């Protein structure tokens, strides 16, 4: 069967671009050509172009791996997503991308785009760990490899912040106004964090550059939501059946799709609201809701699955006892949230349970459990601090931490930027204070939690209960 390309004749049932792709001009650079971007921001951009055509083609940049870039090249910038829900499977071909670059192979092409006045928005999905955020100071982690390299060699960047700062420096030198930087990663107040890190790096290079960015640039916050499991051969086979062509970039995802964006753009934007995006003056309440209810529950589910030998989220959600734990966690989260305009939190929780249980979605627990040192602070720890401050015992948050520790101890392995520190803590546990070595990892837990001896004792009691249960189940 032929590979998907512009000459492919698609079945009538397959949605496709309704705008003139040949007339599409670049206006967005997206850094981080992963599955989530392709199933989220690119979908919104396609819908925006269909509703209100303009110069908003996406230049897709991958920092390291050339594989997705080469795949897009081979498929004329086209790929498919399969939406899997109760109504069945539906395919859509996305064509909003106009060029594709691997930064590791052609950094000057990336910088040329970032300098081009036609580029007015830079969107980011590079994962939390790529920003080089110091866990204790909230500023640049100078030991982060990409941060260290880009401070030493600012004109030949390798990391996302290095590319942003060098691109902005070149625009300033050329008399071109800054682009808007729109972070789409799961960081609380993500635009504010990225702005702080960019200004920190720029200040170390040239204080005048930092002032120019601060005075003229824009870093709106955003909240993104869609469950996108890692693609498999089964994913690609299903897509091939639906679109009638081979697609090495095929994805499967759920029907739910949400994007809340702070309305703060310095030189225009696509009509993303045509695809259902919500523009708001304040995004933080939505971010907190999503990070703590969806992402926090996902972290709980992933570790319940890993402890109980269940591969997928849907497998955990098929066990009533485990679903009860998820519901209890959500109930504990709600008092830590701010009012969220237009959102019924009871209905939101019901939708989450339904989404997690979607039998068509093969979302692996091991994938969700990656990089916990980058995820737990905003998903679990921040809520625990607020719960304790309000007089709660924060028991459900201690439960999640205990599950994480138990999984690390069981596997004696983890995919995490702080892997060595975490495994050292796992191997040096004090039976009388089983969580102490983890709470001693520098900058990981907030000081309020480190000082809360009663909360630590609750983690220890949970660990003891989990160990006892494991012994009973595996005599």
Q: Report pLDDT digits (tens) over 231-259.
A: 999 999 999 999 999 999 999 999 999 99
CATH number of the domain that residue 334 is part of: 1.10.1040.10
CA dist., res. 122 & res. 124, Å (int): 7
Same domain, 240 and 324: no
Which residue's structure tokens are 């036609």?
A: 118
If we measure between CA atoms, which residue out of 122, 212, 214, 218 comes closest to residue 173?
212
Segment 471-475 shows an average pLDDT of 59
Same domain, 264 and 297: no
Find the range with the poorest average confidence among 125-129, 282-286, 471-475.
Answer: 471-475
Query: What is the DSSP-derived secondary structure letter of residue 339?
Result: P
Same domain, 226 and 293: no
330 located within any domain: yes
Token pair recorded at residue 62 = 């991958």
Same domain, 259 and 299: no
Last residue of a domain, one of 236, 258, 280: 280
C-beta of residue 172 within 8 angstroms of C-beta of residue 212: yes
1 located within any domain: no
If we measure between CA atoms, which residue out of 113, 78, 59, 96 comes closest to residue 2?
78
Same domain, 311 and 274: no
Last residue of a domain, one of 253, 280, 307: 280
Residue 226: count other Cβ atoms within 10 Å of its Cβ. Answer: 19
pLDDT of residue 162 exceeding 60, the answer is yes
Token pair recorded at residue 320 = 């009533």
Domain count, the chain: 2
CA–CA–CA angle 67, 44, 125 (5° rounding):
45
Which residue's structure tokens are 């720890």?
A: 381
CATH number of the domain that residue 152 is part of: 3.40.50.720
Residue 152: count other Cβ atoms within 10 Å of its Cβ. Answer: 8
- Using the CB atoms, write b or e for 232-248: b if 16+ within 10 Å: eeebbebbbebbbbbbb
CA–CA–CA angle 435, 441, 442 (5° rounding):
145
Place 379 in a pLDDT band, splitting at 50, 70 and 90. very high
pLDDT of residue 475 exceeding 80, the answer is no
Place 457 in a pLDDT band, splitting at 50, 70 and 90. very high
Beta-carbon contacts of residue 249 (< 8 Å; ≥ 6 apart): 38, 68, 71, 72, 75, 79, 80, 231
Same domain, 389 and 431: yes
Token pair recorded at residue 182 = 């729109």
Q: How far apart are the first and last CA of the chain?
A: 53
Place 473 in a pLDDT band, splitting at 50, 70 and 90. low
Q: CA distances (Å), 253 to each of 92, 245, 349, in order? A: 11, 19, 19
Same domain, 408 and 270: no
If we measure between CA atoms, which residue out of 191, 174, 59, 473 comes closest to residue 307?
473
pLDDT per position as a tens digit, 96-140: 999 999 999 999 999 999 999 999 999 999 999 999 999 888 899
Same domain, 288 and 341: yes
Same domain, 196 and 289: no
CA dist., res. 5 & res. 380, Å (int): 44
pLDDT of residue 447 exceeding 80, the answer is yes
Place 474 in a pLDDT band, splitting at 50, 70 and 90. low
13 located within any domain: no
Which residue's structure tokens are 């910038």?
A: 77
Residue 387: which domain range? 284-473
| Beta pairing partners, 84 | 89
415 located within any domain: yes
pLDDT per position as a tens digit, 33-68: 999 999 999 999 999 999 999 999 999 999 999 999
Same domain, 76 and 188: yes
C-beta of residue 1 within 8 angstroms of C-beta of residue 240: yes
Segment 430-445 shows an average pLDDT of 94
Question: Cβ-count burial of 426 within 10 angstroms (0-12 exposed, 13-18 middle, 19+ buried)?
Answer: buried
Beta-carbon contacts of residue 2 (< 8 Å; ≥ 6 apart): 8, 245, 246
The 3-state DSSP class for residue 267 equals coil
92 located within any domain: yes
Last residue of a domain, one of 280, 304, 334: 280
If we measure between CA atoms, which residue out of 69, 52, 51, 50 comes closest to residue 60?
69
10 located within any domain: no
C-beta of residue 405 within 8 angstroms of C-beta of residue 439: no
CA dist., res. 237 & res. 250, Å (int): 9
Helix pair angle (419-427, 395-411), 10° resolution: 90
CA dist., res. 281 & res. 191, Å (int): 13
CA–CA–CA angle 362, 32, 3 (5° rounding):
65
Same domain, 82 and 226: yes
CA dist., res. 351 & res. 329, Å (int): 15
Edge-to-edge strand ranges of the sheet holding 180-183: 97-102, 57-62, 26-31, 121-124, 180-183
Same domain, 244 and 313: no
2 located within any domain: no
């Amino acid at each position: 069967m032929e590979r998907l390309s512009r000459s492919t004749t698609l079945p009538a049932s397959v949605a496709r671009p309704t705008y003139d792709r040949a007339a599409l001009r670049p206006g967005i650079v997206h850094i981080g050509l992963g599955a989530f971007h392709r199933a989220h921001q690119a979908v919104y951009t396609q819908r925006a172009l269909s509703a209100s055509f303009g110069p908003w083609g996406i230049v897709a940049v991958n920092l390291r791996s050339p594989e997705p870039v080469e795949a897009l090249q081979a498929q004329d910038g086209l790929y498919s997503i399969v939406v899997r829900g109760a109504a069945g499977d539906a395919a859509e071909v996305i064509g909003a991308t106009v060029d594709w670059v691997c930064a590791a192979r052609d950094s000057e092409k990336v910088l040329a785009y970032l300098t081009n006045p036609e580029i007015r928005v830079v969107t980011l999905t590079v994962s939390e760990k790529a920003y080089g955020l110091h866990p204790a100071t909230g500023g640049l982690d100078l030991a982060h490899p990409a941060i260290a390299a880009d401070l030493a060699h600012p004109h030949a960047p390798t990391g996302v912040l290095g590319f942003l700062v060098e691109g902005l420096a070149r625009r300033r030198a050329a008399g071109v106004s800054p682009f808007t930087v729109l972070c789409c990663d799961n960081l609380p107040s993500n635009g504010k964090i990225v702005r702080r890190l960019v200004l920190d790096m720029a200040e170390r290079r040239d204080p005048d550059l930092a002032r120019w960015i601060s005075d003229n640039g824009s870093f709106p916050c955003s909240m993104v939501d869609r469950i996108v499991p890692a693609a498999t051969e089964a994913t690609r086979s299903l897509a091939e059946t639906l679109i009638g062509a081979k697609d090495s970039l095929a994805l499967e995802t759920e029907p739910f799709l949400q994007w809340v964006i702070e309305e703060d753009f310095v030189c225009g934007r696509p009509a993303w609201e045509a695809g259902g995006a919500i523009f708001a003056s304040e995004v933080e309440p939505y971010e907190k809701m999503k990070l703590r209810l969806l992402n926090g529950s996902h972290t709980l589910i992933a570790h319940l699955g890993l402890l109980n030998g269940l591969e997928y989220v849907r497998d955990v959600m098929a066990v009533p006892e485990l679903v009860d734990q998820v519901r209890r966690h959500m109930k504990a989260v709600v008092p830590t949230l701010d009012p969220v305009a237009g959102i019924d939190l009871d209905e939101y929780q019901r939708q989450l349970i339904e989404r997690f249980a979607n039998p068509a979605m093969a979302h692996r627990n091991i994938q969700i459990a990656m990089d916990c040192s980058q995820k737990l602070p905003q998903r679990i720890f921040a809520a625990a601090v607020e719960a304790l401050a309000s007089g709660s015992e924060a028991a459900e948050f201690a439960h999640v931490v205990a599950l994480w520790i138990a999984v690390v101890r069981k596997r004696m392995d983890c995919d995490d930027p702080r892997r060595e520190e975490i495994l050292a803590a796992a191997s040096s546990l004090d039976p009388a204070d089983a969580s102490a070595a983890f709470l001693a990892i520098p900058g990981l837990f907030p000081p309020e939690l480190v000082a809360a001896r009663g909360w630590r004792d609750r983690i220890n009691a949970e660990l003891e209960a989990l160990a006892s249960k494991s012994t009973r189940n595996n005599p």
